[in-house]
Amino acid sequence: MTCKAEGVAAAVRAAAAVVAEHRVELIDLDRAIGDGDHGENLNRGFAAVVAALDAGAPDTPGGVLKLVATTLISKVGGAAGPLYGTAFLRASAKLGTAGDLDVPALLEALRAGLEGVQARGKAVAGDATMVDALIPAVSAAEKAAGDGGDVAAVLTAAADAADRGAESTVDLVPRKGRASYLGERAVGHLDPGARSSALLLRAFAEAAR
C-alpha cells in the first residue's frame, strides 16, 4: 500500500486537528516545567499549515512535508519551530519528488526526521525531550516494516512506541531546554515535546488507516 500527496495532506490536517484538541493539555504540561507556550505555538503553526494547504496543496508527499516544514519554521516561535521544521524538512528531502509514499520511503523519512531533530537540538536519549518519543518510534517502525507491515501498520507501531517513550520522560531529569534549569524538580512531569511528537505520530497513524 502506498500513499499519495492527498493522503499525506489529509494526515497533516488530522494532525492539526489533534494539536488544536490537545492545545490546553500541551500548555499545561509546558507550564509545569517550561514557559507554557508549547501548545499555543504548535497550534498557531499547524493552523497556518492548514491555511497554506487550503491555499494550494503540493502534488507530491515530499512537497506537502516541505510546505509543513517551512510553515512551522516561520510560524512556531520557541524551540518547537526549528525542531519540527527541521524534522519535516529533512523528511521531505528524503522523499524528493516521488509521487507515492511507500514503506521504505516512509522509513527513510522517519529516520531523517529523527536525525534532523537530534542534529538541531543536540539531545540524546534520556534527556527528556521529543527525542525520547522519536527514537523508540523509529525503531518500532523499522521492526513493523521488517514484519511486512503496510504504511498504516508502520505508523501505528511508531505511534504506540512514541506513547511509551513519551511516558518514560516522566521519570527523567531534563537536560535540554528550559526544563533543564529545574533539574530534579522536573522529575514527575511528562515532557511536552515528547507528548506532542507522540500525538502527531498517532494522528498520522489514524489518518493512514
Partner 1 sequence: MSVGIVLVSHSAKLAEGLAELAAQMAPDVTIVPAGGLADGSIGTDYDEVVAATQRADRGDGVVLLYDLGSAQMTAELAVESLADPSAAVVADGPLVEGAIAAAVAAQSGQDRKAVAEAAAAAGIPDDLQPVEPAAGEAELELELRNDVGLHARPAAVLVRTLSGFDAEVTVRLGDQEADGRSVLALMSLGARQGDRIFLRARGPQAAAALEKAKELVDGNFGE
Q: What minimum distance in Å lies between the beta carbon of 53 and partner 1?
A: 19
- Indicate the residue among 79 and 137 with the shorter CB distance to partner 1: 79
The C-alpha torsion from 18 through 78 and 135 to 101, rounded to 10°, is: 60
Q: What minimum distance in Å lies between the beta carbon of 192 and partner 1?
A: 13
The C-alpha torsion from 121 through 118 and 76 to 19, rounded to 10°, is: -130
Q: What minimum distance in Å lies between the beta carbon of 119 and partner 1?
A: 9
Q: What minimum distance in Å lies between the beta carbon of 9 and partner 1?
A: 23
Which of 131, 198, 200, 128 minimizes the C-alpha distance to 170? 128
Q: Which residues bind partner 1 (CB under 8 A)?
A: 37, 41, 73-74, 77-79, 81-83, 85-86, 120-121, 124, 175-178, 183
* Residue 175 C-alpha from the chain's centroid: 20
- Indicate the residue among 44 and 202 with the shorter CB distance to partner 1: 44
- Indicate the residue among 82 and 149 with the shorter CB distance to partner 1: 82
Are the CB atoms for 137 and 161 separated by under 8 Å?
yes
Residue ranges in the chain assigned as alpha helix (H):
5-21, 23-33, 38-55, 61-75, 80-95, 103-121, 131-146, 151-168, 192-208
Q: Is 125 left (phi over 0), alpha (psi -120 to 50) or beta?
A: beta
Residue type, 6: E
- Indicate the residue among 121 and 136 with the shorter CB distance to partner 1: 121
Q: Cα–Cα distance between 189 and 209 in angstroms, integer?
A: 31
- Indicate the residue among 156 and 196 with the shorter CB distance to partner 1: 196
**DSSP assignment letter at 174:** P
Residue type, 197: S
Q: What minimum distance in Å lies between the beta carbon of 145 and partner 1?
A: 29
- Indicate the residue among 7 and 39 with the shorter CB distance to partner 1: 39
Q: What minimum distance in Å lies between the beta carbon of 130 and partner 1?
A: 13
